[in-house]
Chain A
């Protein structure tokens, strides 16, 4: 399995491949490969979504991505 951490200034649910799959700043365990990542509502973040390819991560060295809070 692969590991992802999504950073955002606020606690928010994370959507992976259109399904809720965890929360920001937590380790999310996923299958290797291509994934589309976004956040749950409200819609005050950017970018709208990030496409990533998860590979060669570990629980101690997860892939980390950021979303910014729109002011």
Chain B
């Protein structure tokens, strides 16, 4: 064979390799498949974890900074001893769900998959690793250059492969869906087309007629942390909906609520969009922070919606204490724009436009959750007060009662609570990257437990649980 022919053959082979590279396609939903569904209902309370003390955590975005802060909070919960229903245990044993965004999704997924192993492995495997350098090294590999030539393979696919091999041991969602496994972890991304929050649960995948159980957890984490510009979107296939496909009842009823409940109507409408698979055969997902940078919206939905797992447990009288701990690694970046007379260039405007809104609704979302808590507490107080008055009147009727009285707690920790201005500023100015120094990681691991321990509502909770 001539030198020219060999070169032609090699070039053809390389082009074929490039053309074959494709993002990992999510599997279609097959009726009657044996694989477990990844839904909250598949994880009933077992062992030390009760429904009566119901604890949800939310881990915000913010790269390794957020992952380390969340990890520190997990350690604090593990060290916190409580007594509930006569049994002494760690507060971490009672965590029922974790909802996470971006950097926080690494911690949430790792704890969901490997449990207590996180306390031995997560720091050397992720927190102390220069993930950015590892990703650049992958992209610099000439074999990957060829794969990146393919229109169906991009930087995010290389990142997901790295996370899959180096961090998540190739685990699929079926590993998270083992019966009785808690916490139920909700990894969140954002649908780039409409800005809607997208969660990696089977309930969401049902609407795509897709099976989440075979989907790599690493790809969900990659979608959750696909920061605009630095990484490309994670793509999913929206499969043809079979004849007779019906949306869940909650969504169908919500579609009637344009006048009665606009919030529910838009939620239902955005879920129902995917039924139009001919017009929308694909979804492209980016960082969950674009829709909600603290991961609290899924918990709010679980509390509010009739299909929500918290709502159903509350109405069924199973929850006595509801604890929501928001771990917010949000920062305040230095304003370098306003100091200059000349307006910023296109590059700065593009990045700011894509990212400036990420923290805009954080405080608002937390306030909405607190208002829901206050509504419940007020209802309980009013009912008790009116019933007391009624009992003074002979023959007066008994008021209908809620299934149980609930003690709700909404705890938020963030750097704002650090008293010393210089120390607070130091944490505020930590970068949103996947590359922190060991000193920075150490500081984050220490401040998480400190902030949680000092949060007034957490102290109240511990007092009620005989915590120490």
Which A residues are within 8 Å of any B CB, using their own CB?
A: 1, 3, 5, 16-23, 25-36, 53-55, 58-60, 62
Contact string, B306-342, partner A, CB cutoff 8 A, digits 1/0?
1100011011110000000000000000000000000
The answer, among A5, A17, A28, for a CB contact under 8 Å with B307, is A17
Note all chain A residues with C-beta closer than 8 A to B376.
1, 29
Q: Which residue of B lies closest to A31 (CB)?
A: B304
Residues of B near A1 (CB, < 8 A) are: 304, 372, 375-376, 379
Task: In the A-B complex, list the 5 residue pairs whose CB atoms are closest, starting with the nearest.
Answer: A33-B261, A22-B315, A33-B257, A59-B379, A18-B249
The B interface, classified by DSSP as helix, strand, loop or mixed, is helix
Known A-B contacts A20-B316, A21-B315, A60-B382; the reply to A33 vs B264 at CB < 8 A is yes
Q: Which of B50-58, B398-406, B410-418, B454-462 forms contacts with chain A?
A: B398-406
* Number of A-B residue pairs at CB separation under 8 A: 97
Q: In the complex the two chains form, what is the Cα distance from A31 to B312 in whole Å?
A: 12
Residue B248 is within 8 A (CB to CB) of chain A in the complex: yes
A33-B254, A59-B382 are known contacts. Are A21 and B312 too (CB-CB below 8 A)?
yes
Residues of B near any A CB (own CB < 8 A): 248-250, 253-254, 256-257, 260-261, 264-265, 304-307, 311-312, 314-317, 372, 375-376, 379, 382-383, 386, 399-403
Given the interface pairs A29-B402, A31-B261, A36-B253, the reply to whether A60 lies near B311 with Cβ below 8 Å is: no
A30–B306 contact, CB under 8 A? yes
Shortest Cβ gap from A21 to chain B (Å): 4
- Who on chain A is nearest to B254 by CB? A33
State how many angstroms separate the Cβ of A28 from the closest Cβ of chain B: 5
CB <8 Å contact, B260 and A33: yes
User: Is the Cβ of A32 less than 8 Å from the Cβ of B402?
Assistant: no
Interface contact B401-A27, CB-CB below 8 Å = yes
Bound Cα distance A59, B265 (Å): 24
